[in-house]
Amino acid sequence: METRFTEGAFVERGPGTCWMRMKVPLIAGEGTRPLDRVLIAADSGNGISAVMDFGRYVFVNGDLTVHLHRHPVGEWACVEARTHVDAAGIGLADARLHDEKGPIGRSAQSLYVAPR
């Protein structure tokens, strides 16, 4: 993935906003549609907005839910994410999704967080 952060970074804790573009197709020899690009980017919500140290904790996202209000366009997808984790290790990475024309929907990743 090619990435461009406008807020945060992979090595920073807290909210993050990142534009992403696939460098290679998910499946060799197959075309990649804008919807494919958005769904793959949406799976990065926790990765760009972790609130705990990846070196000390594991983050398992048990599911990913994506809701779009229109078809995406273009090669770039933006994930504007925030992660929340409680003391019991239950978390949620919540994100707004954008394409080159603006907002297109939201995604949510449920998280199980535990010490390594």
The per-residue pLDDT for range 61-115, each reduced to its tens digit, is 899 999 999 999 999 999 999 999 998 989 999 999 999 999 999 999 999 999 9
Angle (nearest 5°) at CA 108 between 14 and 91: 55
| Phi-psi domain of 103 (left: phi exceeds 0; alpha: psi -120 through 50; beta: other) | beta
Q: Find, among 12, 2, 15, 1, the residue nearest to 95 by Cα.
A: 15
Which residues, listed in sequence order, are joined to residue 115 by a DSSP beta bridge? 57
CA atoms within 13 Å, Cβ hemisphere of 114? 4
In the chain the domains, ranked by start, together with CATH numbers, are: 2-115 (3.10.129.10)
Confidence at 50, pLDDT banded by 50, 70, 90: confident
DSSP states along 45-106: HHHHH-SS-TTTEEEEEEEEEEEESS---SS-EEEEEEEEE-TTSEEEEEEEEEETTEEEEE
The predicted model scores a pTM of: 0.91
